Amino acid sequence: LAALTIIFGVIGSIAYWDVQKIIIYNIVTAVGVILFGIAANTPASIEGSVYYLIHDMIIKGALFMLGGALFTLTGTNNLKKMSG
């Protein structure tokens, strides 16, 4: 299940050009990694999964704020339409 979640998240990230959707599918991939840690069922892997979960929540929150800032600056969430 964890491997399928990771594969689904990666394919979803590659399939879209929308910044918000890419971040969401990146979260799906992270959930798969966390599930791998929990499935290993050792104290170290569960502890690592919890630390990764906390770290990922902070980073993804910052990425969503950055995505909002990009939308405000460019007027679009589409990476193809953003230009410097």
46-57 pLDDT tens trace: 999 999 999 999
> What per-residue confidence (pLDDT) applies to 79?
86
Residue 44 CB neighbours (<10 A): 9
Domain residue limits at 44: 2-74
In a domain, 35, yes or no: yes
In a domain, 17, yes or no: yes
pLDDT class for 69, splitting at 50, 70, 90?
A: very high
Distance, in Å, from the CA atom of 25 to the CA atom of 8, rounded to the nearest integer, reads 8
pLDDT class for 84, splitting at 50, 70, 90?
A: low
Number of domains in the chain: 1
Kindly tell me the number of DSSP H helices and DSSP E strands found in the chain: 3, 0
Q: pTM for this structure?
A: 0.83
Residue where the block lists tokens 């599918």: 25
In a domain, 33, yes or no: yes
The SS3 assignment for 78 reads strand
Distance, in Å, from the CA atom of 48 to the CA atom of 37, rounded to the nearest integer, reads 7
Query: Is residue 39's pLDDT more than 90?
Result: yes
In a domain, 30, yes or no: yes
> What per-residue confidence (pLDDT) applies to 80?
87
